[in-house]
Amino acid sequence: MSAPSALVLTCGQCGSVAPHRVLRGKIGGGDEIVFEGVVKCSACGFVSSVVTREPKPIDVPLVVSWLDKSEKTSLEFSPEEDVHVGEALDLGDSRISITAIEAGGRRVDGAKAREVATLWAKRIDQVRVKFSVNKGNRTVPHEVLAAPDEEFEVGEIVDLGKDRAVVHHIRTRIRTVRDGQVRADEIVRMYGRIVRERTIR
């Protein structure tokens, strides 16, 4: 394991908790990560020799739900780190929110990472927007994937693969919108009709 480029430490000179640039050093240790080296305080420039110790990270089992699938993986935590339901975390390129925690054989709202048996989470970087599309004399259900803060506008044309549809109204949990924009994460369902493509010969 290579030494980090910076550490957040309490400076022995100015007393501020600040990033310290690692000038040289090495990482060692068995059950814990031990850093030994020379660092420079970014606040006052004081150079000092330090030895820091922290517990090795642990892998906590994680079940991530996305659309109709659940995927088993794991996430690295410091053993003493607090984990809470509702907490948003990064998992690779996606963003997830913890929906449930199992610790000590029961569901809890929060626990230390070392006590957690399994975490459940859902992806929150994309939402599924339901779209009922009028196609002649029938209504066809579609789904559109979007970022939570992406906005859909009444009158906008949405690409549905083979078809394109114009949005004529949007239902949210509290109202029906017939003019204007709505964030994807506020939409219960969009309604629209297929746009006939005109070809010019």
CATH at residue 46: 2.20.25
77 and 39 assigned to the same domain:
no
Lowest mean pLDDT among 29-33, 116-120, 191-195: 29-33
Give φ, ψ of 144 to 5 degrees: -120, 130
* Per-residue model confidence (pLDDT) at position 105: 92
30 and 70 assigned to the same domain:
no
Residue 129's nearest CA partner among 75, 51, 42, 188 is 188
Task: For residue 181, give its domain range.
Answer: 127-194
**Is residue 99 included in any domain, yes or no?**
yes
pLDDT tens per residue across span 66-89: 878 899 999 999 888 999 999 999
66 and 99 assigned to the same domain:
yes
Number of separate domains in the chain: 3
Question: Final residue of a domain: which of 123, 141, 171?
Answer: 123
* Per-residue model confidence (pLDDT) at position 33: 86
* Per-residue model confidence (pLDDT) at position 197: 64
**Is residue 175 included in any domain, yes or no?**
yes
67 and 107 assigned to the same domain:
yes
74 and 97 assigned to the same domain:
yes
Q: How far is CA 120 from CA 64, 74, 117, 123, 125, in A?
A: 6, 10, 10, 10, 16
**Is residue 134 included in any domain, yes or no?**
yes
**Is residue 142 included in any domain, yes or no?**
yes
Of how many residues is the chain composed?
Answer: 201
**Is residue 103 included in any domain, yes or no?**
yes
Average pLDDT rounded to a whole number, residues 133-161: 91
| Neighbour count for residue 182 (Cβ, 10 Å) | 20
pLDDT tens per residue across span 93-133: 888 999 999 999 999 999 999 999 999 999 888 888 999 99
**Which amino acid, 96?**
I
Please state, rounded to an integer, the average pLDDT across all residues of the chain: 91
pLDDT at 136 over 90: no
Average pLDDT rounded to a whole number, residues 18-38: 89
Average pLDDT rounded to a whole number, residues 1-18: 88
Please tell me whether residue 113 adopts helix, strand or coil conformation: helix
158 and 99 assigned to the same domain:
no
**Is residue 200 included in any domain, yes or no?**
no
33 and 77 assigned to the same domain:
no
**Is residue 79 included in any domain, yes or no?**
yes
75 and 104 assigned to the same domain:
yes
List the structure tokens of 3: 């030494």
pLDDT at 198 over 70: no
* Per-residue model confidence (pLDDT) at position 43: 93
Average pLDDT rounded to a whole number, residues 157-182: 93
33 and 67 assigned to the same domain:
no
Question: What percent of the chain lies above the pLDDT cut of 90?
Answer: 70
Question: Final residue of a domain: which of 97, 123, 149?
Answer: 123
Helix (H) or strand (E) holding 27: strand 17-28
Question: What percent of the chain lies above the pLDDT cut of 70?
Answer: 97
132 and 189 assigned to the same domain:
yes
113 and 142 assigned to the same domain:
no
User: What distance lies between CA 73 and its chain's CA centroid?
Assistant: 15
Give the global pTM: 0.60
63 and 43 assigned to the same domain:
no
Average pLDDT rounded to a whole number, residues 53-73: 90
* Per-residue model confidence (pLDDT) at position 1: 64
**Is residue 201 included in any domain, yes or no?**
no
